[in-house]
Each structure stands twice: as C-alpha cells, then as structure tokens.
C-alpha cells in the first residue's frame, strides 16, 4: 500500500473490529481476513481502506454458502449481515458502495451471478428512489399532513408497500412496482374512508364525495377505488397506467394482503380485509410490518428502504458530495429536473420522434404505455382480416397460415409465459402481457409483409411466411418492446434471446425493420431503447463464440467498408439493396440463393437459413466451398482463413454496412472529444481499425468493437506523433474521454478477454492495456509500423476513405431527407449533370422559379395514382406534367406524396 498506516497489521485490526461489530462467525472472519490480505498484496486499492474491506466482506458474505467453511466441519453455511450496519460502520455512502463493489468484483474475479445481483440491487435502489418521490406527492394530495397520526400513516403506508414488494422477485421493475405503490395507497385510503377517518383524509381532496363531511353521510357498501378516482381527477400522465394497476391490485396485490392476514402480519377484518387502521389494530400493525421488514432485509442483505422516509435521504445516500462519481442510473435519478433519461445512442437518431421534455421516470413509462395502447387499439392476438385477405389474394391457404404463423406463435407464447411464471407473475398478468406481445407482433408483421409485397410483388408470400427465423426474430423484438415499456428490468436484454433460444446475429436483422414500422407510433423512449439494443448487438453480442456469424465468415471473406457502401454496392442497380434500410429478403439471404431454392422443401434446413428468393437472383451459380478449417493462433483465437474466399452475400453486406457505420460514428465522436481534427489522421485510424476487422477478425471473438477502436486510436496517435504535430494521446486520456460517450461502459476497458479457458488453464481477463500488449500488438504491429515512416501511402494499400455516416447527406445518393412526409432531399453539389426527371434547386445558382416549382409540387393536392387536381398556377402544372411522364420512378414518388398528404 502507498500509505504506511495501511500495513497488514492495521488491516487485520480493522477487519477484526468490523467482524466483531457485525457478529461475524470467527472461522468465516479468519478465512476472509486471509483472502483480503492476499488480494491487497496483488492490487493497489486506492482510497479509504475500510471502504474496500466493507465491499469485500459484503461480497464474501453473499457467496458464503459456496465458499465459506468453518474449521470444525465441512458443511457449507451462510453468513448474513445488515448492509445498513455495514455501511454505517465503514462510513461508506450507498453511492460509494455501488461504485466500489463493481471495482471489487473485477479485482476479486467475482462470478457473473454476483455481478448481476449487484446491478439488480443498484437498479432496485434507483426504482425505489423514483417511486419515493411519487409516493410523497400522491400521499400529500390524498391525506392530511398536519397531525402526528397522519405522519405515522405516511410511515405505515410506506412500510406496507415495501413489505408487499418484498414478496415479489421482480422488485426492480419500475411499472410493476408503481402498480404496487398505487395499490398500497388505494388500500390504505379504502380503510380510512370506510372507517370515516376525517382526521386522516385531506378534506380538499377532489376525489371525496361532496357530502363527505356532513353528519348524514352514508358509507357505501364497497370501498371506493382510489386508482380510478385519481385517473379521473388528476392530469398526471402516470395515471395512464391505471388499467394495468387495477389488474395488478386484483391478481397480485390482494393475494399477498390475504397471506399477511393469514400469517398474522396484519390484524383486522380478515374476511373483508378491512379494519387495519382501527385503534386496536393500527399500532400493532405498524410494529408487525416493521419487524417483518427488518427480518426480510437482513436475510437478503439489501439496503434499508425505510431511509427514503427521511427528508435528508439524498445526503445519507452520498449524492450531495460533488466529488463522488455516481453511476449513470443514480445520477439520472437525482437530476435537478427529476428526469431519468438514458443516453441517446449515436446511431439511429433519424428515427427518433420529437423529444418530450420534463418527463419523470414514471411519467416516461406511462407515456410509453399510452403510445403502445393507442397503437394497439382494436388489435387482437391473431392475424387481422387485412392480413388474411392479402394472403388469400397471393395464394396462401388458410392451412398454411395456421401451420407457418399461428402454431409457431402459440409455441413462443408458451415460452414467454413460462419465463414470466418464474418471476411469480399472476396468470392474469401473464396473459395480459403475452396478449400485448402477440398483438404487436401481428400488427408489425402485417406492416412488414405489406411493404415487402409492395417492393417485390413477384415474391411469393408463401416463402416469406415460411421463414421461421425471421418471424421468431420479430416476435422476440416485440417481446423486448413490451418488456421495456412495462419496465420489466428482471428480463432486460439480452434475456429475450435466452427465452427464445435466438442468436443475436439473427435478432439484429429485424430491429431496424421494427423501428421503421413503429417510429411514429411508439414513444421516443421506446425507439431509443431499440436503437440502444441494436448497438449492443453490433458491438459485442454478434461476436460471441457461438454466433452464426462465424459460420458465415468461414464461407466468405470480410468485406471492406468501400465494398459494402451504398454507392459501391454491386447489387444496387438491381434494387436488391435498399437505402437507407433493406428489406427482409436481403437481411435473411443465405450465401447461395440457388442452393436455398433446391433445399426449399427438405427437412434438413436449419432455422435461420433464409429461403427468400426473388426471380432476379435465381440463376446465381453455386461455387464450391473451398474454405479451410479455422486455424488456432497463439492467443487461443480461431483464425478464419480461406484459399479462395467467396464474396459476401447480401446478408453479410448489410451486416457489415451497419457495423462499419456504427464504428465510424464512434471514431468521429471519440476524435472530436480528443480534439483530433486532422482528416488524414482519422483516415489512418479508420484504416487501422478496418484492417483489424478484415484481416484479424479472430481478435473480435468474445470481445468488443470499442476495444479495437481504442487500441487503434492509441497506436496511430503514437506512431503519427511528431515535433510539429503533437497528436499522441495516453490510454488514460483516451479512456477518460471514452467514458463521456453515450452508452459507454467502463467494463469494456477494465475486463478484457486475454486468454480463453482451456483444459489446463482458466480464462484470463485484464485491463485494456494488458490486452493491447498481449493480444493487439502481436497481431497488428507489422501493419501499424507501415504508418511510422509514411510508406503506406506509396503502397498499393492506400488509406481507406472514411465512410460517410448514415444520416449524412453524402451517405445516400439522394442526400439527406429533410421531411418524413415529403420526398425532399438535400445533398452537397458534386456534379453539375443532374437527371432531368428530378426537380432540383441549386443554392445561389438556380433561378427562383425552380424553387417555386418544388414548392408547388409539395403543396399541390394529388388526386390519384394516374391523375391529380389542377395546380393553382401554370408553372406547377407544367412541372408536374413533365415529371409525371418523364420517368416511372417519379410516379412512385408521387404515390408516396399522395399517401403522405392523406395521412396529414
């Protein structure tokens, strides 16, 4: 240790005192002491040593049932401690604990299960913090706050809520926990109302009957429903969740309350579940709930949620200390405007609707639910009549729909419901959410199939509906939407892939199609989440060892960014690759279309192999597979080599186009933060990164795109640094600015795979610098050294052009679309020769009449596909007439314009 007072004797003293105060078993304490001292010898633990001891002790107690053994016997035993007492004795704030326990998990190589528990604990804290704010505001609206009795009622209601919440596994799911909170308030209000407690209920509460305070007021037979009352009288957007809250109250909340009466936790009228506030029961009930909660929180070693009752809760959490680095979840929870808004991903921003300001976390969830409810209004968990009619017109039989659509869908419903049942969800909640997923699935399926049929009317819908992996990916994506909208954090991504046994590589293909279908229907938060999931898949999930991507890369070489760009795509003239997003065919296309056609009706077709073949590519000649088996490299990775690699198929082209697009977005963002503005330097960085992806692809296996990106930035800046051009950046600088990027995770550079597990050696992970020296440099040094003396520019391998990011005007032949409702684009003028079939206006060059002609076309009303209403001026009529007959593509644009105008 760097400080003399932190020697081993001092460590032993601190551990002994802490274990004694927490009544830790002596044998367990002795084992923990030896383990901590050994770890302390290997690592430098910065900061207060007692903080690290507290985190280490908490981690050891959490895993004591498998690692802690006494000297007297060999039986496993569990050590439970109070997290609240531990934090108090270590003078450790909760926010500090969340930060340091993550660092300790990496240092001590804790299991992934433990890391997940710590993440869930942090999210649970954030959810409870959000709802505590909501609880205060609603309680003050309903009940009085001027008496000691009402203050006790405030405490009692919160106790009731956290005790009931403890009976559920998914206590970190925002929407469900909000439903339980509303149910708690509803239950206490009903008891106060039926007991005629005018001293507790706010006389100004708008939900009270007009004659509430009169002596002749007669109590109703059944208590009023507070949730329904709040929905009617409050403009709070969170009350849009009232319907779901009533379902939760009836089928989840009420059974728990009944069990509390059976277990003597609550006293009152057991048959009617009333009387809990009576004079003879109130004090006994609050003491009973307090005792029950203390036992529960001690057994699970979690933070004491009663702390949220205190006015100085923020200070006790440690968030008032400006020097303390908070996690993104906690930081967003306590923003000044109360908004807990996740970072907006760099990609996919063109799909985001207008931002809705000043939404609290619960309001954000309610807003997402409201958008979803509006979109699914009138939908049923079955194919619609429109979809059935389209299938019938295209020769798809009813039997085929049952076999290829309905029956697989029923199997997926069963898989999802089984997973919800594991979370102790009630049958009614399970049915409700499964219906939501299925309704959304058929809604989006209809949209995609309709659009696909418009693009390629010659395509058989029978083939499209027979593609099981495509439909499974769509159902999984719809499930992810529902899980996010309802805040089911317990099943956060990538859990949905585990539910349906679906690979991330197949899942990514459907995300953008879903976003396109619902971008103007669902909330901004939902679209942002899908974009975030897509980035997560592209950056790491598709590069797992078991990903189907590696099988495809054994049959085809990795293309360059230029080869997959829209302007260079060999299939673009045949309209096989769409812009900006492709259709289903291209996303799920296999390497050999003819081979897929031959195998169409054979049983050995694997799930995920697309059979979507159009008449334009049936005659593709099948090449012999000459790929060689992967070879093992020195660091245990699989090197993909091929004597005569095939060209990538459409599916791979689309994947790498999106992957490279994400990579260049991140390079531009990081270079901007590092103040590296030189274009040639950025091209060198891109060339280095592209080379590692194309020729050292095995380095990506079980790793992360950003790990290669950070190494590329570091090494290029290092070899390009000169006396006149100081561009060298340290790893510390690069990682500091990397953390500022949206959705950046410090786990990326703190826990990098160095060596895979073998029969003789365990898996090894370390920080990014170790990865750079042990793995990256041996693979890349020969290539990177070519930059040092400037040889690269004179060789055949020129610097790769920096790809245009999607959304830039240069990335699309048409340019940047300026309106979602009109076919209007803006792009840099690179050529004076422009097609005669397009209406164009060149700034500072074209006459005013050209711009007036465009305005006239946009403002004119189109009456049909073949005709239109007479324009109001002759110039517009002239232009429209020329456009109408000059090129068939303009007719299609006018059809789109007609649809846009009809939708306004």
* Tens digit of each residue's pLDDT (9 = 90 or more) over 92-118: 888 889 889 988 888 888 888 888 888
Q: At what angle do helices 49-62 and 112-142 cross, to 10 degrees?
A: 100
Has residue 43 got a pLDDT over 90? no
Q: Do the Cβ atoms of 394 and 460 come closer than 8 Å?
A: yes
Q: How crowded is residue 427: how many other Cβ atoms within 10 Å of its Cβ?
A: 11
Indicate if the pLDDT at residue 292 is higher than 90.
yes
In this prediction, residues 205-229 reach a mean pLDDT of 87
Residue 821 has pLDDT above 70, yes or no: no
Domains (ranges, CATH) in the chain? 4-66+77-110 (1.10.472.10), 124-317 (no CATH), 361-539 (1.10.472.10), 650-794 (1.10.472.10)
Window from 109-123, 310-324, 733-747 with minimum mean pLDDT: 310-324
Return all residues near 844 (Cβ < 8 A) that are at least 6 apart: none
Task: Looking at mean pLDDT, say which of 64-78, 85-99, 874-888 comes out highest.
Answer: 85-99
How far apart CA 254 and CA 242 sit, in angstroms, is 16
Q: What is the model's pLDDT at position 584? A: 62
176's CB contacts (< 8 A; 6+ apart) are 168, 170, 248, 486, 487, 488
The DSSP line for 220-232 is -SS---HHHHHHH
Burial of 299 (0-12, 13-18, 19+ CB in 10 A): exposed
For 667-691, what is the HEC assignment? HHHHHHHCCCCCHHHHHHHHHHHHH
Mean pLDDT of 870-885: 42
Residue 823's pLDDT is what? 58
Residues 549, 178: Cα–Cα separation, whole Å: 41
Q: Kindly state the DSSP code that residue 348 receives in the 8-state scheme.
A: -
Residue 78 has pLDDT above 90, yes or no: no
Residue 60 CA to residue 32 CA, distance in Å, equals: 7
How do beta strands 631-632 and 638-639 pair? antiparallel
pLDDT band at 370 (very low <50, low <70, confident <90, very high): confident
| Nearest alpha-carbon partner for 720 in 786, 662, 778, 654 | 786
Half-sphere exposure in the Cβ direction for 838 (13 Å, CA): 12
How many residues would you count in the chain? Answer: 904
Q: Give the separation between CA 20 and CA 12, rounded to whole angstroms.
A: 12
**What is the pLDDT confidence band of residue 586, given thresholds at 50, 70 and 90?**
low
411 near 476, Cβ under 8 Å? Answer: no
The mean pLDDT of 253-260, rounded to a whole number, is 93
Distance CA 350, CA 361 (A): 24
Angle formed by the axes of helices 650-673 and 524-539, to 10°?
A: 100
For 729, the 3-state DSSP assignment is coil
Give the span between the Cα atoms of 53 and 87, in whole angstroms: 11
Q: Which helix (H) or strand (E) holds 716?
A: helix 705-720
Spatial separation of the C-alpha atoms in residues 539 and 494, rounded to whole Å: 13
| Least confident stretch, 9-23, 247-261, 534-548, 791-805 | 791-805
Q: How confident is the model at residue 597 (pLDDT cuts 50, 70, 90)?
A: very low
pLDDT category at 743 given cuts 50, 70, 90 is: confident
Q: Is 152 helix (H, G, I), strand (E, B) or coil?
A: helix
Three-state SS string across 390-433, please? Answer: HHHHCCCCHHHHHHHHHHHHHHHHHHHHHHHHHCCCCHHHHHHH
**Whole-Å CA distances, 94 to 19, 22, 162:** 20, 18, 19
Closest CA to 82 of 313, 310, 303: 303
Q: ∠ at Cα 84 (79, 88), nearest 5°?
A: 110
In angstroms, rounded to a whole number, what is the distance separating the alpha carbons of residues 174 and 330?
Answer: 14
Reply yes or no: is the peptide bond before residue 580 cis, omega within 30 of 0. yes
Average pLDDT over residues 571-577: 37
The H or E element containing residue 479 is helix 468-485
CA atoms of 57 and 794, how far apart (whole Å): 60
> What local confidence, expressed as pLDDT, does residue 68 receive?
40
pLDDT higher than 70, residue 357: no
Q: Determine the pLDDT at residue 689.
A: 95
Are the CB atoms for 826 and 809 separated by under 8 Å? yes
Output the pLDDT for position 538.
95
Question: 266 exposed, middle or buried (CB, 10 Å; 0-12, 13-18, 19+)?
Answer: buried
Percent pLDDT > 70 in the chain is: 74
Backbone Cα Rg of the chain: 31
SS3 (DSSP) at 607: coil
Kindly state the DSSP code that residue 339 receives in the 8-state scheme. -
Q: Which of the 8 DSSP states describes residue 806? A: B
Q: Can you tell me the distance from the alpha carbon of 504 to that of 416, in angstroms, rounded to the nearest whole number?
A: 18
pLDDT band at 785 (very low <50, low <70, confident <90, very high): confident
Higher pLDDT, 723 or 315: 723
Top mean-pLDDT range of 39-53, 329-343, 527-541, 815-829: 527-541
DSSP collapsed to 3 states, 555-589:
CECCCCHHHHCCCCCCCHHHCCCCCCCCCHHHHCC
Host H or E run for residue 817: strand 816-817
* More confident: 744 or 435: 435
Tens-digit pLDDT profile for residues 159-171? 999 999 988 877 7
Rounded to the nearest 10 degrees, the angle between the axes of helix 468-485 and helix 427-455 is 130
Residue 447 backbone dihedrals phi, psi, to 5 degrees = -65, -45
* pLDDT higher than 90, residue 435: yes
557, with CB counted inside 10 A (0-12, 13-18, 19+), is buried
- pLDDT tens digits for range 603-617: 333 333 322 233 233
**Other residues' Cβ atoms within 10 Å of the Cβ of residue 430:** 19
366-370, 759-763, 881-885: least confident range: 881-885
pLDDT at 96: 87
Q: Which residues contact 750 (CB under 8 A, 6 or more apart)?
A: 106, 767, 768
What string of H, E and C letters represents the secondary structure of 155-203? HHHHHHHHHHHCCCCCCCCHHHHHHHHHHHHHHHHHHHHHCCCCCCECC
- The sign of the dihedral angle between the CA atoms of 331, 335, 341, 344 is negative
Three-point CA angle 424, 427, 429, nearest 5°: 85
Distance CA 490, CA 116 (A): 10
H or E element in which residue 287 lies: helix 282-300
Please give the helix or strand (H or E) that residue 100 lies within, else none.
helix 94-107
pLDDT for the residue 578: 38
| Residue 33 contacts residue 17 (beta carbons within 8 Å) | no
Per-residue pLDDT at 190: 93
Q: Determine the average pLDDT of the residues in 449-454.
A: 86
Q: Which of these, 454, 521, 533, 457, lies nearest to 493 by C-alpha position?
A: 533
Q: How confident is the model at residue 624 (pLDDT cuts 50, 70, 90)?
A: very low
The 8 Å CB, 24+ separation contacts for 808-815 are: 811/566, 811/580, 812/566, 812/579, 812/580, 813/566, 813/567, 813/579, 814/579
Q: What are phi and psi of 486, to 5 degrees?
A: -95, 10
pLDDT at position 646 over 70 = no
Are the C-beta atoms of 674 and 736 separated by less than 8 Å? no
Q: CA nearest 123: which of 172, 53, 78?
A: 172
Quick: pLDDT tens for 830-841.
555 555 556 777
Please name which of 728, 715, 749 lies closest in space to residue 676, comparing C-alpha atoms: 728
Preceding peptide of 494 cis, ω within 30°: yes
- Mean pLDDT on 680-709: 94
Which are the contacts of 778, defined by CB distance < 8 A and separation ≥ 6? 634, 635
């Amino acid at each position: 240790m760097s400080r003399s007072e932190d020697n081993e004797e001092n460590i032993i003293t601190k551990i002994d005192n802490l274990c004694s105060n927490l009544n830790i078993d002596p044998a367990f304490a002795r084992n923990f002491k030896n383990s901590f001292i050994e770890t302390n010898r290997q690592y430098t633990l910065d900061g207060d040593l007692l903080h690290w001891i507290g985190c280490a002790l908490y981690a050891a107690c959490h895993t004591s049932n498998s690692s802690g053994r006494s000297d007297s016997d060999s039986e496993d035993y569990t050590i439970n401690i109070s997290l609240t007492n531990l934090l108090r004795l270590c003078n450790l704030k909760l926010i500090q604990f969340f930060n340091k326990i993550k660092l300790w998990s990496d240092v001590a190589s804790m299991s992934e299960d433990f890391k997940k528990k710590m993440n869930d604990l942090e999210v649970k804290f954030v959810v409870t913090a959000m709802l505590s704010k909501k609880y205060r505001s609603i309680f003050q609206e309903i009940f009085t706050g001027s008496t000691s009795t009402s203050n006790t009622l405030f405490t009692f209601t919160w106790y009731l809520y956290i005790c009931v919440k403890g009976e559920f596994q998914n206590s970190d799911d925002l929407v469900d926990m909000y439903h339980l909170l509303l149910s708690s308030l509803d239950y206490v209000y009903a008891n106060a109302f039926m007991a005629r407690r005018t001293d507790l209920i706010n006389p100004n509460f708008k939900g009270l009957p007009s004659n509430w305070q009169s002596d002749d007021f007669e109590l109703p037979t059944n208590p009023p429903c507070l949730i329904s009352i709040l929905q009617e009288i409050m403009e709070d957007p969170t009350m849009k969740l009232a319907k779901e809250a009533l379902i939760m109250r009836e089928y989840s909340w009420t059974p728990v309350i009944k069990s509390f009466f059976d277990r003597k936790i609550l006293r009152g009228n057991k048959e009617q579940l009333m009387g809990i506030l009576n004079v003879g029961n109130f004090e006994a009930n609050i003491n009973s709930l307090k005792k029950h909660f203390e036992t529960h929180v001690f057994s699970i070693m979690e933070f004491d949620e009663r702390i949220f009752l205190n006015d100085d809760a923020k200070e006790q959490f440690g968030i008032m200390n400006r020097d303390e680095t908070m996690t993104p979840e906690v930081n967003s929870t306590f923003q000044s405007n109360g908004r807990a808004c996740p970072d907006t991903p760099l990609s996919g921003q063109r799909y985001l609707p207008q931002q809705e300001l000043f939404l609290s976390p619960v309001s954000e969830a309610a807003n997402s639910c409201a958008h979803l409810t509006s979109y699914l209004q009138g939908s049923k968990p079955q194919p619609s009549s429109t979809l059935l009619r389209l299938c019938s017109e295209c020769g798809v039989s009813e039997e085929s729909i049952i076999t290829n659509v309905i029956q697989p869908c029923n199997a997926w419903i069963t898989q999802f419901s089984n997973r919800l049942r594991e979370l102790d969800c009630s049958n009614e909640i399970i049915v409700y959410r499964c219906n939501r997923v299925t309704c959304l699935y058929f809604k989006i399926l209809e949209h995609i199939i309709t659009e696909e049929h418009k693009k390629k009317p010659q395509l058989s819908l029978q083939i499209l509906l027979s593609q099981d992996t495509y439909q499974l990916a769509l159902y999984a994506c719809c499930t992810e939407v529902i899980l996010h909208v309802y805040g089911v954090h317990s099943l956060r991504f990538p859990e949905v892939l585990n539910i349906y046994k679906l690979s991330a590589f197949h899942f990514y293909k459907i995300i953008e199609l879903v976003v396109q279908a619902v971008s103007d229907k669902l909330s901004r938060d939902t679209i942002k989440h899908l974009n975030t999931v897509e980035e997560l898949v592209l950056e790491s999930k598709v590069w797992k060892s078991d990903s189907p991507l590696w099988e495809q890369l054994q049959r085809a070489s990795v293309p360059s960014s230029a080869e997959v760009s829209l302007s260079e795509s060999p299939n673009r003239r045949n309209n096989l690759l769409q812009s900006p997003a492709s259709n289903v065919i291209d996303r799920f296309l296999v390497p050999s279309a003819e081979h897929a056609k031959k195998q169409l009706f054979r049983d050995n077709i694997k799930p995920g192999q697309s059979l979507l073949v159009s008449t334009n590519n049936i005659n593709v000649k099948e090449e012999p597979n000459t790929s060689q088996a992967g070879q093992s490299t020195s660091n245990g990775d699989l090197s993909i080599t091929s004597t005569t690699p095939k060209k990538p198929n459409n599916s791979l082209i689309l994947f790498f186009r999106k992957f490279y697009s994400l990579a260049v977005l991140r390079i531009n963002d990081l270079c901007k933060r590092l103040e590296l503005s030189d274009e040639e330097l950025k091209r060198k960085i891109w060339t280095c990164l592209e080379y590692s992806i194309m020729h050292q692809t095995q380095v990506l296996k079980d790793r992360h795109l950003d790990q290669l990106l950070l190494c590329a930035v570091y090494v290029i800046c290092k070899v390009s640094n000169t006396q006149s051009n100081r561009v060298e950046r340290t790893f510390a600088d690069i990682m500091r600015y990397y953390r500022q990027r949206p959705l950046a995770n410090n786990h990326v550079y703190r826990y990098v795979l160095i060596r895979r597990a073998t029969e003789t050696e365990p898996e090894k992970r370390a920080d990014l610098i170790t990865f750079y020296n042990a793995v990256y440099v041996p693979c890349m040094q020969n290539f990177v050294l070519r930059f040092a003396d400037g040889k690269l520019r004179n060789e055949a391998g020129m610097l790769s052009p920096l790809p245009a990011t999607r959304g830039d005007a240069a990335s699309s032949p048409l340019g940047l679309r300026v309106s979602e409702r009109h076919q209007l684009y803006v792009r840099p003028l690179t050529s004076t020769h422009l097609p005669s079939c397009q209406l164009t206006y060149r700034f500072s060059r074209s006459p005013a009449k050209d711009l007036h002609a465009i305005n006239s076309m946009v403002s004119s009303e189109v009456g049909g596909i073949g005709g239109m209403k007479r324009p109001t001026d002759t110039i517009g009529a002239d232009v429209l007439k020329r456009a109408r007959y000059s090129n068939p593509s303009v007719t299609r644009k006018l059809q789109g314009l007609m649809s846009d105008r009809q939708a306004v």
